[in-house]
Amino acid sequence: MSKKKTTSVAVKQFSVEQFFSIRSIYGFKLSHDSKTVFYITNTTGTPQIWSVPIIGGAPKQISVWNDSVKAIYQNPKSPELIFLSDYNGNENLQIYKIPSDGGEVTHVAGDNQSQTMFVGFNKGGTKILYSTNRKLSYNFETFVHDLKTGKEKRVYGFDDPTATIAEEWSDNSRYITFVKMYGNINTDLLLYDTTSRKLKNITGHDLSVDTFNAGSEFDNKNRGFYFVSDEGRDFKGIKYYDIKKATSNWVVKHHWDVANFVLSDDNSFMIYTLNRNGNLSPYMLNLKTGKSSKLNLPKGNYSSLKITKDGKKLVYVFESPLNPADIFTYDFKSGKITQLTDSLIGGLGKEGFTVGKDIFYRSFDGKKIHAILYIPRGTKKNGSNPAIVWPHGGPEWQEVHNFSKYIQVLTNSGYIVIAPNFRGSTGYGKKFQKLIYKDWGGAEFKDVLGAYDYLCSSGFVNRKKIAVVGGSFGGFMTLTCVTKAPERWRCAVDIFGPSNLITFVNSVPEHWKSGTDILVGNPVRDKGLLEERSPINFVDKIECPMLVIQGRHDPRVVEAESGQIVKKLKSSGKDVDYILLEDEGHGFSKVSNQIKVFKAKLEFLNKHLRSNKSK
């Protein structure tokens, strides 16, 4: 096990191996009797299915699969699980089933050349509904699959260029909701009646007015469904659609985004989370009185909400900068909180972690930008410290107050990190989010430079020891920073970032292309803009050493995006190192690869940011 160099920072130092011994825990489901929690964790090095009693107890491994488990679903009647998995991160998900206590895995649907999306079970647990693009790569068909006979029946299919995917199946199997994806902030909900065989767009709107409608959940009487919408608003709330009346009305509206929600089994109340500057807090809404109140729970981020069948407990994933994600229960009556999983192992303690601080700054045009600033405890305000600008991926994403191993590894090594939520980020309303559309490498790039300027004016940082590090869109932003503002950076790390926007939009999955036309640009109509914003065309401007990291099977940012810029960097005599992971896709799921990548990243950063040599 490698050891880190001792720094002057007064935090307890941990190795990369220790950090990545922290288990990732996510994607949990309750058993049909609410007595068991099934969840995904990478305890064995690859994400697998585990279970734990809801009253607490020893965890049990359920699956020993040959690749990463991506999602799990509990059969509502029988002791059986459905799970999704792909091959080495290629995102061509397939559906499998396994007994709830472990055992033989059976392939149900899907292949390695297409994507298969699980929708739900019928009430009896004998059939499942799923969508697949195996016929048309750019759109989806939906099938009912009989789990006993293996027979399938096509329910509906779409052949237009706008991807439309089944989202929810009513308890009586009569209704299916579909989401029609015009773009990430412009969607409609369609309702299909399998009895009348009629399809209706229940949120039809002027497509020039971006409106988000998705996240449907039927009520227990199959009379309608709740869904997330921002119709006529800047922020997302919750609406209810009455099928018989063919009308919808608002149930929840705030001046912040609703992130997710869950209904109690008897539909008497709902729990939803509200996103305030990257803090996701849970609220309870009484569906009879319409009154809502914030739950008395510790500050942090709450996700994957579930309510036990008897309505007495909330089950959720909780995390904060000092607490890696774990599964908890909350008793509504007594207020008792019970922790079911323990992700923090490997001898780590909270004394080695850094809590981020909300900061705000004005960008070049006066736009207010929110960022999270991580300053390790004991860091001296003497202008000598190295720092990292960390632009997030997406770009329609948000840096939140969660536990990020990736940032904590860096701060534990003594690096100050600033993570800006530049324009285009989620959580600040759709007007702010839309500002990045067809402007990649434009105004949001200047927002990121504003984060650099904030570091320089903080009194903590040596401006000659600042790096930019990012993945996916953050990788593109890293490449943009070193080509458009090369004098600012001591070194840079690009993790599967698009280098050429024309080849990027041409290589994304087919059912994404109508969306990337809107978000990034069209390779023909917007060729001039995309060429001007493509970092690969400005490699000659790069002055700092580069580290580029990529997964071979990445379907979102294909390997050629990294390969072509590395080739051009090398042919131009630039200082570049390249790590290509042969068994990964977009994001690295195997713990051994995570350790390999972060050890290389820290070695690279330490070499260039700890040196006393100036640029």
pLDDT tens digits, residue range 45-69?
999 999 999 999 999 999 999 999 9
Task: Examine the pLDDT at 4 and tell me if it is beyond 60.
Answer: no
Amino acid letter, residue 534: S
Neighbour-count burial of 193, counting CB atoms closer than 10 A to its CB (0-12 exposed, 13-18 middle, 19+ buried):
middle
Task: Examine the pLDDT at 180 and tell me if it is beyond 70.
Answer: yes
The answer to whether 182 and 171 have CB atoms below 8 angstroms apart is no
For the residues 185-200, what does the mean pLDDT come to?
98
CA atoms within 13 A on the CB side of 104: 3
pLDDT tens digits, residue range 89-109?
999 999 999 999 999 999 999
For the residues 265-281, what does the mean pLDDT come to?
96
Q: What is the pLDDT of residue 551?
A: 95
DSSP assignment of 120-187, as one string? EE-TTSSEEEEEE-SS-TTS-EEEEEETTT--EEEEEE--SSS-EEEEEE-TTS-EEEEEEEEETTEE
Q: Which structure tokens are listed for 311? A: 């309505």
Confidence label for 350 from pLDDT (cuts 50, 70 and 90): confident
The topology under which CATH files domain 354-609 is Rossmann fold (3.40.50)
Q: What is the pLDDT of residue 348?
A: 81
Q: Which structure tokens are listed for 46? A: 């690859």
Q: What is the pLDDT of residue 587?
A: 86
For the residues 219-244, what does the mean pLDDT come to?
98
Question: How many CB atoms are located within 10 Å of the residue 565 CB?
Answer: 27
Tokens 């996916």, located at residue: 472
Distance CA 428, CA 423 (A): 9
The answer to whether 38 and 48 have CB atoms below 8 angstroms apart is no
Task: Examine the pLDDT at 608 and tell me if it is beyond 90.
Answer: yes
The answer to whether 549 and 559 have CB atoms below 8 angstroms apart is no
Q: Are strands 491-495 and 416-421 parallel, antiparallel or unpaired?
A: unpaired
- Bridge partner list, 153: 144
pLDDT tens digits, residue range 243-264?
999 999 999 999 999 999 999 9
In percent, the amount of the chain with pLDDT more than 70 equals 98
Tokens 């609406």, located at residue: 239
Confidence label for 613 from pLDDT (cuts 50, 70 and 90): low
Distance CA 199, CA 217 (A): 18
Task: Examine the pLDDT at 42 and tell me if it is beyond 90.
Answer: yes
Q: What does the mean pLDDT of the chain come to?
A: 95
In percent, the amount of the chain with pLDDT more than 90 equals 95
The answer to whether 412 and 3 have CB atoms below 8 angstroms apart is no
Task: Examine the pLDDT at 167 and tell me if it is beyond 50.
Answer: yes
Confidence label for 305 from pLDDT (cuts 50, 70 and 90): very high
Q: What is the pLDDT of residue 7?
A: 42
Tokens 């729990």, located at residue: 271
Cis status of the peptide bond prior to 395, with omega within 30 of 0: yes
Q: Which helix (H) or strand (E) holds 368?
A: strand 368-374
Task: Examine the pLDDT at 3 and tell me if it is beyond 60.
Answer: no
Q: What is the pLDDT of residue 9?
A: 47
- Within 8 A by CB and 6+ apart from 457, the residues are none
Q: What is the pLDDT of residue 10?
A: 63
Query: Closest Cα to residue 98, out of 63, 128, 66?
Result: 63
Choose between 612 and 37: higher pLDDT. Answer: 37
Distance CA 41, CA 449 (A): 37
Distance CA 63, CA 392 (A): 32
